Amino acid sequence: MKGEWPVLEGENDRSWRVIHRMGEKPAKCDLVVAQIAARQHGVVSAEQLRAARIGNQGIYRRTKAGRLHRVHRGVYAVGHSKLGFEGCCMAAVLALGDGAAVSHQSAAGVWGLLPSSAGFVDITVPGDGGRERRRGIRIHRSFTLVAGVTTRRKGIAVTKPARTLQDVRRTVPQPVYRRAVRRALDLGLIRSDQVSEPDLTRSELERLFLGICRHHRLPQPEVNARLGPYEVDFLWRDRALVVETDGFRHHSDRAAFESDRVRDADVQRFGFRVLRFTYRQVTEDRTSVVAALRDLLGERPLTPNL
């Protein structure tokens, strides 16, 4: 229709739809491009530039003038060439076209599960071929990359958290993977039943905790000791102190949370104090764990009721 600005199809965000009523003056091309880039972390595709009425000659002139900066073939940064992490991810998705999604460690960075990397951007595309290599992009191919495992985060096509963790597990060391899982649980991005296997077994967590005790020369506890009807993780009987260590699955299991609180109340009725330490505290905040233990283990022996 005469007097209308073109609609950029395929995007729900209203900022993509710069439409002018009949009879109104069309928006300037560069203003339209700036609006698109503002929603795409500073990048636009050649297709979007043409939809904004900027042809090949216009792209060439703007590139020569430093108003557009080529990132990949058919993808440009607007105004400057220094893109942040999200801008690099968006540019990689635009470069590989429909169906492509940020994945693996790059997706973990988008979701905030792992630190973002300034290196290659991991992109998964459907199928097993048909895409050539691109500088700065690590391309993965998958027949299982369907709509149900991808979404948009900050406007970027990305694999969902559960799929991201599946991909990350195959490509990073186990400690890094475990940190990513814990972060996903902390942020509520996944449920505990979406983790396919125990990410830190009870024995591993016990080993780490006992290592802390040994390293800091704390009295060694009884392990998996009986206390009335219960088996507790760690027990200092002469100090009337119980320590329980909570693995990943306690983060989102409401039934386990409630059961543990009932159990703690019973143990405290016997005259024992109960401390609970999370996976994060045992692995990343050992100073606080040691300080709490020293405060209680340094006291004179107590006489519990059991």
CB of 107 within 8 A of CB of 89? Answer: no
Domain assignment of residue 305, yes or no:
no
CA angle 33, 38, 40 (to 5 degrees): 95
| Residues 207 and 180 both lie in one domain | no
Examine the pLDDT at 186 and tell me if it is beyond 50: yes
Instruction: Give the model confidence (pLDDT) of 199-239 as tens digits.
Output: 445 667 788 899 999 999 999 999 888 888 888 899 999 99
Domain assignment of residue 304, yes or no:
no
| Residues 262 and 175 both lie in one domain | no
| Residues 51 and 112 both lie in one domain | no
Which pLDDT value is given to residue 15?
40
| Residues 176 and 206 both lie in one domain | no
Which pLDDT value is given to residue 192?
67
Examine the pLDDT at 25 and tell me if it is beyond 70: no
Among 177, 194, 211, give the residue marking a domain's end: 194
| Residues 183 and 206 both lie in one domain | no
Domain assignment of residue 254, yes or no:
yes
Please give the single-letter amino acid code of residue 259: S
| Residues 135 and 221 both lie in one domain | no
CB of 119 within 8 A of CB of 134? Answer: no
Instruction: Give the model confidence (pLDDT) of 158-172 as tens digits.
Output: 999 999 999 998 888
Domain assignment of residue 250, yes or no:
yes
| Residues 178 and 208 both lie in one domain | no
Count of structural domains within the chain: 3
CA distances from 236 to 6, 55, 172, 281, 298 (A): 73, 76, 38, 20, 12
Examine the pLDDT at 174 and tell me if it is beyond 90: no
Examine the pLDDT at 97 and tell me if it is beyond 70: yes
Instruction: Give the model confidence (pLDDT) of 109-147 as tens digits.
Output: 999 999 987 789 999 998 876 556 788 999 999 888 877
What are the two backbone dihedrals, phi and then psi, of residue 169, each rounded to the nearest 5 degrees?
-55, -30
| Residues 55 and 25 both lie in one domain | yes
CB of 155 within 8 A of CB of 37? Answer: no
- Is 26 in a helix, a strand, or coil? coil
| Residues 216 and 290 both lie in one domain | yes
Domain assignment of residue 218, yes or no:
yes
| Residues 206 and 186 both lie in one domain | no
Alpha-helical (H) ranges within the chain are: 29-38, 46-51, 56-64, 85-96, 104-111, 161-169, 174-186, 202-215, 254-269, 279-284, 286-297
Among 194, 223, 246, give the residue marking a domain's end: 194
| Residues 139 and 116 both lie in one domain | yes
d(CA 78, CA 75): 10
CATH of the domain at 271: 3.40.960.10
Among 155, 176, 194, give the residue marking a domain's end: 194
The parent domain of residue 134 ranges over: 85-90+97-194
d(CA 237, CA 206): 18
| Residues 189 and 215 both lie in one domain | no
Domain assignment of residue 306, yes or no:
no
Say what percent of the chain tops pLDDT 90.
46
Domain assignment of residue 181, yes or no:
yes
Domain assignment of residue 20, yes or no:
yes
The predicted model gives 74-98 an average pLDDT of 93
